[in-house]
Amino acid sequence: MYGVWFYIWPRWDELMNFKVWCDAAIQIFYSLGPGCGGILNMASYNSFTNNNKIDSILVPLCISATSITAGFVVFSVLGFMSHKTGIPVSSVASGGLGLAFVTYPEAISLLPWANFWAILFFLMLFFVGMSSAFVTIEAIITSICDEFPVLRRHKLFITFFTCCIMWACSTIFTTNSGMYWLTLLDCYSVSTSIVLISLVEVTIVGWTYGAKYFLKDIEFMIKKKVSWLWFISWKFSIPVILIAIFIMTIKTDTDITYDGKTFPKWTIDLGWDCCYVSMACIPLYMGYHLLYIEEGDFIQRIFSSFFPSKHWGPVDENTKLKWIREVKLRQVGGKFVKKRPQEILQLITTV
């Protein structure tokens, strides 16, 4: 109960600490996974009329509720460890990766039937990692197959090849210095770049494609009106918040330590290099698009790149109806089309 009380009792003075807000925002990115492509990938398997508005509300609420519940589990064990060792919970509850791989297993070793609880704990970590890997790998595979449609027939080989590369790269974390590498990449390779990537995405939706058109597309899909608050969020609120988070992430950056050892300067530079690699893909593709995709002189290419292309929405109602009919036909399947043409004709007439 001491650990739970430490967990739920607020420290109001920490609200004035910008780093706390920054860490909280980054944790939301880790939990929800925006900017990584996984959400868009998995959502693409929904039906065309799926209520995405409800999903965008329920998913964050469920994830936040899960995190809060997990906090009770973690801090109850940390409170038990504090009681056994006499060390304050504030000292026991070390943040970062050490909490999951050092502090928590050490606390479990003090419980009755420690081996049983240890097996359950590491099985839980294994399945959490596997479920995250499914989404990550699917995002990579779908991106490759969409960019090069000819490879779709070889999806099994691409999946196997992707898993082999990820396995080979992750073996560095199993070495004696593995925890240091994991801490370094955890601090630098994702936190800053994912905020920038999400900022670029919401800017494209809100300003390049247009929040007004995006709102109409969603209303067409769910057959309901959508509040203007969503328009304000996509257009103004979210970009401003993400810019503030991005600036705070860089400004509050400090030297990282693990097990009482401060990382040398060259490792910090390496961490930032890993961060720059993912962010550099954005300007590189922008340059490629301006040079090889857009038409006209340089000024015209820059100007046209700020607007949707002619063969991409928003589309008129006739085109939308034609597209819906094609979707319905694909959903029914080829065999159904050949054997039961009357039902297909009735379906198209209804649409």
- Binding-site residue numbers for Na(+) are 31, 132
Q: Cite the annotated binding site by residue number.
A: 31, 132
Bond before 314 cis per omega within 30 degrees: yes
Find out whether 186 and 286 touch, Cβ atoms under 8 Å: no
Tokens of 37: 């492509």
User: Given phi > 0 = left and psi -120 to 50 = alpha, else beta, which region is 262?
Assistant: beta
**CA–CA dist 150, 165 (Å, integer):** 21
Find out whether 108 and 114 touch, Cβ atoms under 8 Å: yes
Q: Cα Rg for the chain, rounded, in angstroms?
A: 25
Instruction: Give residue for tokens 């964050």.
Output: 60
> Residues 6 or more apart from 42 whose CB is under 8 A from it?
135, 138
Find out whether 3 and 78 touch, Cβ atoms under 8 Å: yes
| DSSP code per residue over 153-201 | GGHHHHHHHHHHHHHHHHGGGGSTTHHHHHHHHHHHTSHHHHHHHHHHH
Q: How many CB atoms lie within 10 A of CB 104?
A: 21
Find out whether 93 and 75 touch, Cβ atoms under 8 Å: yes
Q: What is the DSSP letter of 315?
A: -
Q: How large is the angle between the packed helices 18-32 and 238-251, nearest 10 degrees? A: 120
Task: Encode 242-255: b = buried (16+ Cβ within 10 Å), e = exposed.
Answer: beebbebbeeebee
Tokens of 48: 């065309």
Half-sphere exposure of 204 (CA within 13 A, CB side): 12
